[in-house]
Structure 1
Amino acid sequence: MKQGTKGSAATGIPDPSAAVRVPSQPRAGDVERERLAAPGAARGEHTHSEQPLHRPRAVVQRSSVRGQVLDALRTALVTGDLRPGEVYSAPALGDRFGVSATPVREAMQQLALEGAVEVVPNRGFRVVERGARELAELAEVRALIEVPVMLRLARTVSADRWSALRPAAEATVRAASSGCRATYAESDRAFHRAMLSLSGNEQLVQVADDLHRRAQWPLVGAPASRGRGDLVADAAEHVTLLDALVVGDPEAVGNLIAAHFTTTL
């Protein structure tokens, strides 16, 4: 143990009073010699004077649980299991998912940042009520962002690269055929992300994906989900759009992508 550091040699627990004691200032030469003499200093390793870093095992595990709860809550929003206008408490949702209230509360706070829910003090979280006007506004913003990008990509991206997205488009068709709104919502966003990723602008992809997710939340007073036929028709538009991109028809691309925003779930 170095001089000036108090503690029990048996337990290795430092004396708390040492944390507030200001040591005498050593000369610069002494500091440099001590640094070079410390084992592993030249390699950037921990020396015996440093506190060891603990593995963040519990933090990683909690983060994993929170992520799973967040995914489950997002699915419940899309399917309408979490109803607009209703208030849900973290403990009650924790019981539903078989977890403690803490990861539920953290996941709900993330949804609050995204605008899906709002905090109700001493009660929980209320699912935001959205109307047709908000959905139309989201469609307008998405069009302002994505249509110019897609038109540019239609002129600059090769047919081979567009053809490589065929599996993603076909995946939306299979998801729509299942009739599961949540499954289709995820595949729908994945296809749009794949197209926009060809721009090389990750910030644009993230903003567009957030807007797309918001557009998938159900409207207040509307049916919890669209019918299977609606989903299949929506997915068919993906295939038609991809066909136009492969043949290099920017005019058709512009018309198709703009119309698609107004029918997205």
Structure 2
Amino acid sequence: MAQPPAQTPQDADLPAFPRLGGRRSSYRERVAEALRAALIAGELRPGEVYSAPSLAVRFGVSATPVREAMLDLAKEGLVDTVPNKGFRVTAVSDRQLDEYTHVRALIEIPTVTELARTADRVSLEALRPAAREIVTAAVAGDLIAYVEADTRFHLGLLALAGNAHLVEVVADLRKRSRLYGLTALVKAGRLLASAQEHLDLLDALLERDEKAAREIMTRHLGHVRSLWAAGD
């Protein structure tokens, strides 16, 4: 029986990812989602090289879907291929983070504020499970689950505006962001407060309170840059 692949020092520092099941085609999609979340959360560090076989061990799948998922991330500019070694996580500069956050604010704040007038209650309530998942992940300190649920919530919210291209733009900006400060927020016990804002935002939208929705969304995006995207 083949022995598990040897781990590099970088691989040994990886968090314990959830083991994945399901069809092989789903492996690739699920692994890609989890890897994006790990990148955004800063659990896969810029400049480090990670091997597909070692990542596969953590997901409980073969190396093939992991390698395919990493190639998808390479096409998105999130990692670079390193021949015979694996994949290197690309770095994001402070200026890029500022630009991403600025564009997100220009798009998301007015769009979400307008939903206080236009979104129906059923569609808004349908997002509550995702908002609760964010809180649950914050309590558990599970950053990958946090980022995944956070992505579903925000993109689902924006989708209610009926502009698919807008959602694609924000999704791409989120993929390219790095939230290195999430770990620090967990240690300081401050991640839960940020998580709660998702429920507060839903309540404001359901109450048709545009002013409150704008204030919460502005504060929430401010965390992305001033707190979450902090360096080491």
Task: Give 1:128's aligned residue.
Answer: 90
Shift of 1:180: 0.9
Pick one of 166, 189, 203 that aligns with 1:204: 166
For residue 256 of structure 1, what is the amino acid of its counterpart? I
Find the residue that maps to 1:84 and give its secondary structure. Answer: coil
5 Å-filtered alignment, 1:1-265, equals 62-78=24-40, 80-94=42-56, 101-159=63-121, 161-215=123-177, 217-219=178-180, 226-227=185-186, 229-264=189-224, 265=228
Q: How many Å separate the matches in 2 of 1:90 and 1:163?
A: 39
Shift of 1:142: 1.0
Aligned length: 203
Q: Which has the larger radius of gyration?
A: 1
Q: How many Å separate the matches in 2 of 1:103 and 1:64?
A: 9
* Deviations 1:42-75 (CA, angstroms, capped at 9, x unpaired): xxxxxxxxxxxxxxxxxxx653443343244335
* Deviations 1:112-160 (CA, angstroms, capped at 9, x unpaired): 1222212234543211122433322221111122222223222222445
Provide TM-score, normalisation by structure 1: 0.64
Unaligned runs of 5+ in 2: 1-22
Q: How many Å separate the matches in 2 of 1:145 and 1:232?
A: 25
Q: How many Å separate the matches in 2 of 1:62 and 1:163?
A: 33
For residue 105 of structure 2, what is the amino acid of its counterpart? A
Q: How many Å separate the matches in 2 of 1:236 and 1:223?
A: 15
Find the residue that maps to 2:81 and give its secondary structure. Answer: strand
The 1:107/1:200 distance shift into structure 2, 3 A limit, reads same
Task: Give 2:20's aligned residue.
Answer: none
Shift of 1:223: 7.4
For residue 119 of structure 1, what is the amino acid of its counterpart? T
For residue 227 of structure 1, what is the amino acid of its counterpart? V
Which one has more relative contact order, counting CA pairs under 8 Å at least 6 apart? 2
Q: How many Å separate the matches in 1 of 2:81 and 2:56?
A: 17
For residue 136 of structure 1, what is the amino acid of its counterpart? D
The 1:224/1:159 distance shift into structure 2, 3 A limit, reads closer
Is the contact made by 1:150 and 1:253 (CA closer than 8 Å) also made in structure 2?
yes
Is the contact made by 1:160 and 1:246 (CA closer than 8 Å) also made in structure 2?
no
Is the contact made by 1:79 and 1:181 (CA closer than 8 Å) also made in structure 2?
yes
